[in-house]
C-alpha cells in the first residue's frame, strides 16, 4: 500500500497546533541569538589590539598579494604552502585596504558561523536544548575563541568540518545520497582551507566501518568522492593556470619528512585546557553516565575526536591549532550530557552545571583576549609582542630595498608584513632537508654582511628565549659589524615593561 503526501512546511509544522508553533519559533530564536551575540563579542572585542604573529603575517601577506598589494606581493608569494581559500576570502576585504582588523574580522565571522552550525548540529543530534548548550560552550571555548580571532586557516577548516559532521548525521539518518554528496563537498571545502582536513576522513572511515547499520551505498560514495576530487584538484589547477605550477610542492614533501617540533605529549598538555576541562569532563562523564543510550551518534562524535588526536600525536609536526576540528564535537557531547542532566535532575541542576562550565570557559577565553602577562609568547596563540610596532617603524624609517637579518623566521615574517622590507632569518638552515622551503637561508651571514647585503640585524626576546645559539651568533655579528641600536621596542610583560625588540643598523666597514 502506498500513500501520497506533500512534503512542505505547513505539513511539517503540522497541521497540528499551528497556534503554538508560530510564537514558539520566535521565542526559540532568542536564546540562540544570545549565544551568537556572545560568540560575536568574544571574537570581535579588541580584535586588533595586538599585531599579527608569524603565521598571521604570512596568511595576511598572501591575501594582500592576491588582492594586488604591490608593496607585499614581492614579499609574500601567493602559492607558498597551503591552499588559499581563506586567503582568498581575506583578499576580498583587502581590496578595500590592508588592515589587521579586517583580516581578523573575516576569521572571527567564520568563527561565529561555526557556532551557529554547532547549534544546528546539536539540535539535529540531541535536540534543541543540547544544541543551544553546545553552541554556548563553543562560543566561549578558549580554543575556538583564540584561533578564530586570528588570521589562520584552521577556523575556516573547522567551519567546513562541522558542516561535514552535520551532513554525515543527515546521511546516517536518511540515507539520502544528496547528504553524502554535500558531505563530500564540505570535506573538499575544508581541504581547500587547509589540507590537513583530510585527517577527518580517517575518523569518518572508522565510524562507517564500525557502524554497519549506517549503510553507505556505492552510488552515493562515488558521487561524494567525485565532488571531493573536483574540489581537491582546484589548488593544482589554480596554480597551473596562474603561472606558478611548481611552487609549494617541496613544502608538502618537507612536511612529510621534517623533524618533530614538539614532544609526543604536546596535545595532551595544551588541548585539554584549551577546550576547557569542564567541556572535556562533561563530555566524558556523559559518555560513561549515559552509556545505555549509546547510539551511532556518539560513535560518530568519538571517532571524529579520537582519530585526529591519535594522528597528530603520532605525526611529528604539531601545531597548537591543528586539533581545532574536534572542538565542535566535544561541545556537542558536553551539550548532550548537560541536556540529559536537565532531564534527569531537573532544570536547576541543568542551569547550574551549564553556568559552571560556561563561566570557566569564558574566564579562560577572556584571559586569552587580554595582552600576555606570562612573560612567554607561544607562536600560534596570539600576537608577537611588539612585532607590529617594530614593523611599522621599519616601514617608516628603513629605506626601500634595505634588508634585515633576524634571529628566527617568525620575526622576519612579521617585519616583512608590517615593514614591507625583505627580512631573512639566521636560524633558517642551509640544509634543504631541515628547513621550511618557504624560507631562504643565509648560508654565510658573515660574508653577506661584509658584502653589504644586510643593513639591519634584529634581536627579539621571543626568539632569544627559544634559540640561544643563533641569538649568540646575532650578538657576535652585531658587534663585528659595528651595530648601532636605532630602535628598541618594549612590551608590558606582567607588571613591567620589558625590552622585546631591538633593531641595530650595521655596516660592512
| Interaction residues for another protein, span 289-348 (CB under 8 A) | 293-296, 342-343, 346
What phi and psi, each to the nearest 5 degrees, are found at residue 313?
-70, -40
Q: Which of the ranges 5-13, 104-112, 378-386, 427-435 carries the binding residues for another protein, by CB under 8 A?
A: 5-13
**Closer to another protein by Cβ: residue 370 or 450:** 450
- For another protein, the binding residues in 163-182 under the rule CB under 8 A are 163, 167, 170, 173-179, 181-182
State in angstroms the smallest separation of the CB of 296 from another protein: 7
The DSSP output letter for 72 is: H
Q: What kind and span of H or E run contains 499? A: strand 496-505
Distance between CA atoms of 244 and 247, rounded to whole angstroms?
6
| Span near another protein by CB under 8 A; candidates 77-85, 250-258, 309-317, 318-326 | 77-85
Per-residue interface string for the shown chain with another protein, residues 244-263, x marking contact by CB under 8 A: x-------------------
Q: 193, 186 in Cβ contact below 8 A?
A: no
Residue 359 CA from chain centroid, whole number: 23
Question: Exposure pattern of 350-378 as b/e (b: 16+ CB <10 Å)?
Answer: beebbeebbebbbebbeebbeebeeeebe
Question: What's the CA gap between 483 and 486, in Å, rounded?
Answer: 9
Count of chain residues binding another protein (CB under 8 A): 84
Q: Which stretch binds another protein (CB under 8 A): 104-112, 430-438, 446-454, 468-476?
A: 446-454
Task: Report the nearest approach of another protein to the CB of residue 74 (Å).
Answer: 7
CB 105 within 8 A of CB 47: yes
Residue 451 within binding range of another protein, rule CB under 8 A: yes
Find the binder of another protein among 26, 348, 401, 496 (CB under 8 A): 401
Binders of another protein in range 351-370 (CB under 8 A): none
CA distances from 11 to 15, 18, 26 (A): 6, 10, 19
Pick 84 or 152: Cβ nearer another protein: 84
Cα–Cα distance measured from residue 384 to residue 135, given in angstroms and rounded to the nearest whole number: 30
Told to check if 509 binds another protein by CB under 8 A, we report yes
- Among residues 420, 495, 415, 481, the alpha carbon closest in space to that of 453 is found at 481
d(CA 346, CA 342): 5
Restricted to residues 14-33, the positions that interact with another protein (CB under 8 A) are 14, 16, 21
Query: Measured from the CB of residue 7, what is the shortest distance to another protein in angstroms?
Result: 4
- Cβ 507 to another protein shortest distance, Å: 5
Pick from 132, 231, 500, 502: which binds another protein (CB under 8 A)? 231
Binding range to another protein, per CB under 8 A, among 210-218, 268-276, 313-321, 428-436 = 210-218
Q: Is 35 in the site for another protein (CB under 8 A)?
A: no
Tell me whether residue 76 or residue 320 sits nearer to another protein (CB atom): 76
Nearest to another protein of 374, 399 (CB atom): 399
* Gap between the Cα atoms of 490 and 504, Å rounded: 15
Binding piece for another protein, criterion CB under 8 A, among 30-38, 277-285, 384-392, 398-406: 398-406
3-state secondary structure of 443: coil
Which segment (105-113, 328-336, 405-413, 449-457) binds another protein by CB under 8 A?
449-457
C-alpha cell belonging to residue 174: 536518511
DSSP letter assigned to residue 450: H
Quick one: which of 65, 406, 410, 413 contacts another protein (CB under 8 A)? 65
Bridge partner residues of 505 (DSSP): 456, 484
Query: For the window 108-147, what string marks contact with another protein as x by the rule CB under 8 A?
Result: ---------------x---xx-------------------
458: part of which helix (H) or strand (E)? strand 456-460
Q: What is the DSSP letter of 440?
A: P
CA 196 to chain centre: 11
Closest CA to 167 of 178, 157, 159, 156: 178
As measured in angstroms, the least distance from the Cβ of 237 to another protein is 5
Amino acid at each position: 500500500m502506498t500513500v501520497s503526501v506533500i512534503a512542505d512546511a505547513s505539513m511539517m509544522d503540522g497541521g497540528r497546533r499551528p497556534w503554538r508553533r508560530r510564537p514558539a519559533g520566535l521565542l526559540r530564536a532568542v536564546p540562540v541569538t544570545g549565544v551568537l551575540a556572545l560568540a560575536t563579542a568574544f571574537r570581535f572585542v579588541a580584535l586588533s589590539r595586538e599585531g599579527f604573529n608569524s603565521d598571521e603575517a604570512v596568511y595576511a601577506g598572501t591575501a594582500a598579494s592576491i588582492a594586488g598589494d604591490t608593496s607585499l606581493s614581492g614579499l609574500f608569494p601567493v602559492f607558498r604552502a597551503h591552499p588559499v581559500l581563506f586567503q582568498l576570502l581575506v583578499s576580498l576585504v583587502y581590496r578595500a585596504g590592508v588592515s589587521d582588523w579586517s583580516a581578523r574580522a573575516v576569521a572571527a565571522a567564520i568563527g561565529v558561523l561555526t557556532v551557529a552550525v554547532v547549534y544546528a548540529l546539536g539540535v539535529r543530534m540531541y535536540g534543541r536544548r543540547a544544541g543551544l548548550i553546545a553552541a554556548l560552550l563553543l562560543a566561549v571555548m578558549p580554543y575556538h575563541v583564540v584561533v578564530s580571532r586570528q588570521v589562520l586557516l584552521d577556523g575556516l577548516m573547522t567551519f567546513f568540518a562541522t558542516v561535514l559532521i552535520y551532513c554525515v548525521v543527515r546521511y546516517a539518518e536518511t540515507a539520502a545520497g544528496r547528504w553524502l554528496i554535500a558531505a563530500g563537498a564540505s570535506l573538499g571545502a575544508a581541504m581547500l582551507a587547509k589540507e590537513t582536513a583530510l585527517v577527518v576522513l580517517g575518523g569518518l572511515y572508522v565510524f562507517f566501518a564500525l557502524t554497519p547499520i549506517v549503510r553507505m551505498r556505492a552510488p552515493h560514495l562515488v558521487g561524494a568522492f567525485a565532488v571531493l576530487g573536483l574540489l581537491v584538484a582546484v589548488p593544482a589547477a589554480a596554480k597551473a593556470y596562474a603561472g606558478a605550477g611548481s611552487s609549494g610542492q617541496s613544502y608538502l614533501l618537507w612536511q612529510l619528512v621534517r623533524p618533530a617540533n614538539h614532544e609526543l605529549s604536546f596535545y595532551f598538555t595544551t588541548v585539554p585546557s584549551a577546550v576547557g576541562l569542564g567541556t572535556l569532563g562533561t563530555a566524558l562523564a556523559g559518555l560513561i553516565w549515559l552509556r545505555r543510550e549509546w547510539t551511532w551518534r556518539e560513535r560518530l562524535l568519538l571517532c571524529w575526536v579520537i582519530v585526529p588526536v591519535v594522528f597528530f600525536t603520532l605525526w611529528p609536526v604539531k601545531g597548537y591549532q591543528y586539533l581545532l576540528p574536534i572542538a565542535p564535537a566535544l561541545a556537542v557531547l558536553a551539550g548532550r550530557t548537560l541536556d540529559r542532566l536537565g532531564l534527569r535532575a531537573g532544570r536547576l541542576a541543568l542551569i547550574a552545571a551549564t553556568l559552571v562550565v560556561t563561566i570557566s570557559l569564558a574566564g579562560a577565553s577572556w584571559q586569552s583576549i587580554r595582552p600576555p602577562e606570562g612573560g612567554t609568547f607561544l607562536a600560534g596563540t596570539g600576537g608577537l609582542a611588539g612585532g607590529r610596532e617594530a614593523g611599522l617603524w621599519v616601514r617608516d624609517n628603513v629605506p626601500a630595498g634595505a634588508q634585515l637579518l633576524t634571529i628566527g623566521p617568525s620575526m622576519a615574517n612579521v617585519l616583512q608584513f608590517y615593514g614591507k622590507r625583505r627580512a631573512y632569518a639566521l636560524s633558517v638552515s642551509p640544509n634543504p632537508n631541515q628547513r621550511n622551503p618557504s624560507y631562504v637561508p643565509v648560508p654565510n651571514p658573515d660574508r653577506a654582511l661584509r658584502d653589504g647585503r644586510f643593513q639591519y640585524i634584529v634581536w627579539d626576546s621571543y626568539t632569544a628565549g627559544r634559540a640561544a645559539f643563533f641569538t649568540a651568533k646575532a650578538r657576535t655579528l652585531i658587534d663585528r659589524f659595528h651595530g648601532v641600536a636605532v630602535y628598541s621596542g618594549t612590551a608590558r610583560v606582567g607588571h613591567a615593561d620589558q625590552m622585546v625588540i631591538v633593531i641595530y643598523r650595521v655596516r660592512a666597514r
